[in-house]
Amino acid sequence: MQTNPTYTSLVAVGDSFTEGMSDRLPDGSYRGWADLLAARMAARTPGFRYANLAIRGKLIGQIVDEQVETAAAMRADVVTLVGGLNDTLRPKCDMGRVKGLLTEAVERLAPSCERLVLMRSPGRQGPVLERFRPRMEELFACVDELAERHGALVVDLYGAPSLADPRLWDADRLHLTAEGHRRVAEAVWQTLGHEPEDAEWRTPMPPTARPDWRARRVADARFARQHLLPWIGRRLTGRSSGDGRPAKRPELLPYEDPAKPPTAADAELS
């Protein structure tokens, strides 16, 4: 792996994890690890281009049908692919089909880019992870096998103690906080061969006092009402949180930081 390589473009493919939920910006949009990574890469390379095709709620079959061919046609230097975890959380999940579709995606994307990046997704401590752990680990074993076969990189977030901490997960217990996304961006950055900006991203946060029993029960009730029941409702009716939503950044264009204020030059151009 080249140290501090120069890449001119990045395309991100996936679901809500790559879209950036729940790293919310002041305007209500989501940032996330892929945007943070693009910002770092753009700071090193003038004219750096970035596309993010991810849409929340997508299953691996939808990612293959709706995103993979588009991403491959962009011929970016770096492509990130994270998908299949939404499938593992469904009560009826055909892991053979999921792995077959993931294989199809990798086989299409790997020849189209200089560097394909796959991930072993993070898992939050708690009963949900324990219930679905066997499926997740079966998916990650497939990721490892595909990476070895096609020369892709694997970012091991599942094995990072820091990202299992519930404090790095939003109230919905499915998406990382801004700090969680920052650590993921750092992990990908280092995996691509760049010098660390945070060598301790894997290190857990300092311990704090655990909330008492009553506070935990109140949080559980709020989670069930605001997040779990709507999620179950969408499953029962065949709906998805991503229905009708466009890709986050559908075109491979020069990166612009949405949080950066316009300069005088920008004002003149407008």
pLDDT digits (tens, 9 = 90+) for 198-223: 999 999 888 766 777 676 576 656 65
**d(Cα 258, Cα 23) in Å, to the nearest integer?**
13
- Which residue has tokens 């879209």? 19
Instruction: Write the DSSP assignment of 8-22 as a string of letters.
Output: -EEEEEESHHHHTTT
Torsion angle of the four alpha carbons 14, 191, 253, 40, in this order, in degrees rounded to the nearest 10: 120
Distances (CA, A) of 188 to 34, 157, 221: 9, 9, 35
Whether 122 contacts 156, CB under 8 Å: no
142-163 pLDDT tens trace: 999 999 999 999 999 999 999 9
Two tokens at 93?
């999940």
Pairwise pLDDT comparison (123 vs 141), residue with the higher score: 141
Rg (CA), the chain: 19
Confidence class for position 266, pLDDT limits 50, 70, 90: very low
Give the residue, 71 or 2, on which the prediction is more confident: 71
Task: Return the higher-pLDDT residue of 265 and 35.
Answer: 35
The candidate with the shortest Cα–Cα distance to 39, out of 55, 60, 23, 58, is 23
pLDDT cut 90: percent of the chain above it: 66
pLDDT of 174-199, one tens digit each?
Answer: 889 999 999 999 999 999 999 999 99
CA-nearest of 6, 1, 33 to 20 is 33
Residue 250 has pLDDT above 90, yes or no: yes
State percent of the chain over pLDDT 70: 81
Burial 101-139 (b: 16+ CB within 10 A, else e): bbbebbeebbebbebbbbbbbbbbeeeeeeebeebbebb
Sheet (strand 153-156) strand order: 153-156, 115-120, 78-82, 9-14, 49-52, 249-254
Q: Which residue has tokens 């750092």?
A: 186
Residues facing residue 176 across a β-bridge: 169
